[in-house]
Amino acid sequence: MNNTPRILNRILIGILGLKMLAIGLLLVLLATVPAVGSWWQHWSAGVWSGMSRLFQRTGIPGRDESWLWAVMALLLVLVIAAMVAWVAQQGKGRSSLLVAEDDAGDFPGSVRIGGGVAEQALRAALAERPDLAGATVATYEIRGEPALKIRLQPRHGVAPHLLAADVSALVEALDAVVGQRTPVLIHISAGARSRFSRAERVR
Amino acid sequence: MNNATDVRSKGSHAAGNSSGAPAPDPRGAGMRRILDRETRSSRAGVSGIAAVLVVVLCGYGLLESAVRAIGQPPWLIDPETAAERIIALPQGMPPLLLGLIGAVTAMVGLFFFLNAVLPGRRARHLLADPRAGVVVDDEVIASALARRARVAANVIQEQVMVVVSQRQVTVNVRPTSGVPVSENAVLAAVLEELREMDPVPMPEVRVNVATAGVIGA
């Protein structure tokens, strides 16, 4: 429902996983197969000598440290910033407006209805139901369009299709009030609260 | 088993009914995408772990290279000494420890890689509804079916256990000792409930009645 970047998540996790897998397998091979050890020493010594020559050529004038260290520190800062930005993308997409449009009438201005209207109305309508242990309503923005997510936590043994039909009727009543059909997702979930309650005997 | 084939034909029939091809979704154009996303894991948690791991590694690298850039003594290890030790690797380290570190790293890498590649389907089913997209956790379906099976078998709550997976529903009933339970009655009740519910994909039903009964229930 939210705008978590799923493809990006999978690509980045996949890259990290492949790299760690390769490093781990290399270490295991180094520990077990002697031939790999001699190859590794030969190959990595060549790479390292090339790098150290590069470091010697790029010294800061007047000091013996290379400026490549500063470049490397900068690159690492960029990677860290990218990681923080990536984490900040997870679970985004909550919005506060249910309707925001120009009504094209004679008067200037636009119509805005806050998501709180739908949330309060549906929560109040669902509050008295004895077969629900909890209900939350949230407004999301999916590709610029507002959408509602209704999360229901029924008690044990409640038939989900009957519950969904009831809530769907409530949503249609809300459509009539708001004057717009927003996409609605009803998620009937087994929350922690219904797990610990003995609702078989309530009904 | 006669019951099983009967169930299978019923299941496929119901699934065939519900999966027509309505091109314009009356519930909104984005509903297909929303439902697709709701039935799969977003990998947000694993992404967070991966990001923290990379940040910690980069943070350490940043510290050492910054210390090096301003010409201060290193905190834990000088980058050059580290590189020399890595080059010399099979030497200078007990092979058991090296292999262990490698195995752990490879396992963590495999965990991340599988998380990226596997479909990550959540234990959820879709219900048909003209107005809203409806997603139901399998646990909710299981408890509804368990209630129905319990009434049909005339036993108490603890004697019925229902396991719902993507394509199969298993109903385990432990009858009260001395009171026979009709497997067909339980199966019919569960099928009836499933038919009314009409989850997508429609699972098959299997009923197991235990041979040993419960005493004093």
- Scanning B141-160 for CB atoms below 8 A from A yields 141, 143-144, 146-147, 157
Domain residue extents for chain A: 6-88, 97-196
Measured between CA atoms, the residue of chain B closest to residue A48 is B83
The 3-state DSSP class for residue A132 equals strand
Residue B144 within a domain = yes
Residue B24 within a domain = no
Report residue B108's pLDDT band, with 50, 70 and 90 as the boundaries.
very high
Q: Could you tell me the residue range of the domain that residue B181 belongs to? A: 124-209
Report residue B180's pLDDT band, with 50, 70 and 90 as the boundaries.
confident
Residue B196 belongs to domain with CATH number: 3.30.70
Residue B137 within a domain = yes
Chain B: closest CA distance from residue A44 (Å): 6
In A47-172, where do the E strands start and end?
97-101, 111-114, 132-142, 145-154
CB A97 within 8 A of CB A110: no
Residue B198 within a domain = yes
Mutate to test the interface with A, among B41, B100, B140, B150 (most CBs of A within 10 A): B140
Chain B: closest CA distance from residue A195 (Å): 10
Residue B217 within a domain = no
Chain B: closest CA distance from residue A198 (Å): 10
pTM of the model as a whole: 0.77
Note whether B198 contacts A161, CB cutoff 8 Å.
yes
- Could you count the other beta carbons within 10 Å of the beta carbon of residue A65? 15
Residue B92 within a domain = no
Report pLDDT digits (tens) over A47-68. 888 888 888 777 766 666 677 8
Residue B161 within a domain = yes
**Residues of A in Cβ contact (< 8 Å) with B99:** 27-28, 31-32
Torsion sign (Cα): B175, A161, A193, A4: positive
Tokens linked to B175: 């009858």
Residue B156 within a domain = yes
Calculate mean pLDDT across residues B198-210. Answer: 90
Size of interface A-B (CB pairs under 8 A): 262
Q: Which residues of chain A have pLDDT under 70?
A: 60-65, 103-104, 192-203
Torsion-angle region of B170 (φ positive above 0: left; ψ -120 to 50: alpha; else: beta)? beta
pLDDT, mean over chain B: 82
What CATH homologous superfamily does A97-196 map to?
Cation efflux protein, cytoplasmic domain (3.30.70.1350)
Strands B160-164 and B168-173, sheet pairing? antiparallel
ipTM of the complex in this document: 0.79
